[in-house]
Amino acid sequence: MRPEKRQGGRGEQGFTSLRRSAEHGFTLIELLVALMIFAMLAAAGVLLLGNSVSAQAQVKARLDDMAAIQRAAGALSADLGQAVPRISRTEAGTLAPAFWAHRDGEEQPVMQFVRGGWDNLGDLPRPSLQKVEYWVRQGRLERRGYAQIDGAVGDEPAALLDHVEEVTLRFRDIQGEWREEWTPGQPDLMPRAVEMVVKRTGEPPVTLRFLVAPGPKEAPLDDQEASNAAA
């Protein structure tokens, strides 16, 4: 007798091959494709994480920078808002106007004046008035205070802003006009407002404006001449 032929031999062999492939796992090509996809996803995740960390660092630096500007503006606003028309003496003993400003670089302060309302919580032997100076030195905006108004040595300066390239000032007089320089005709005359433009490295200029406490009015020219003649 002849052996019976099996029908559908190729179909059964293909089914058996697929069943064996499923039983034995993935092929090498499938593993390589899966690894490549995993590597692409991992690289995208690392890139996304790096961008997120960088953006977070930039936001933090920007917030810290804004906070520093606000602290400096707060100090200036408190000082200028309580300025008094008090003529003082320098460390060398020479008379200084109630308010004076300079543009001589780092050799002299950009502003000097006397403020009131200096708290004395420790009941120290000092007045409630304080002479303050603002300097631009070594790329920093600094504030320097004096425990005594006349002829005393100043305290250690406190840095308010870093990376400062230039500070430009303007002063508003009693007529409401802005001046590039403050050269009053009488030593106790105060500006009505101060504008400060701060230029910092890698940052756009920041314009700050502050009101100054009311001071004496400018005396007429005849009164000034009579006062000078009497002196």
Q: Where are the domains of the chain?
A: 67-163
Q: What is the CATH number of domain 67-163?
A: 3.10.610.10
Rounded Cα distance, 160 and 134, in Å: 10
Lookup: tokens for 50: 């790096």
Q: Output the pLDDT for position 123.
A: 63
As a whole-number percent, the residues of the chain with pLDDT over 70 amount to 79
Q: Is the dihedral of CA 183, 186, 192, 194 positive or negative?
A: positive
Rounded Cα distance, 194 and 170, in Å: 6
CB 190 within 8 A of CB 216: yes
CB 148 within 8 A of CB 126: yes
CB 51 within 8 A of CB 43: no
- Rg (C-alpha) for the chain, rounded Å, is 37
Residues in the chain with pLDDT values less than 70: 1-26, 119-126, 218-231
Q: Output the pLDDT for position 228.
A: 47
Q: Output the pLDDT for position 199.
A: 94
CB 98 within 8 A of CB 85: yes
CB 194 within 8 A of CB 209: yes
Lookup: tokens for 48: 């996304």
Rounded Cα distance, 134 and 89, in Å: 17
Q: Is the dihedral of CA 131, 219, 210, 104 positive or negative?
A: negative
* Span 74-88, pLDDT tens digits: 999 999 999 999 998
Secondary structure class of 142 (helix, strand, coil): strand
pTM exceeds 0.85, yes or no: no
Q: Output the pLDDT for position 23.
A: 55
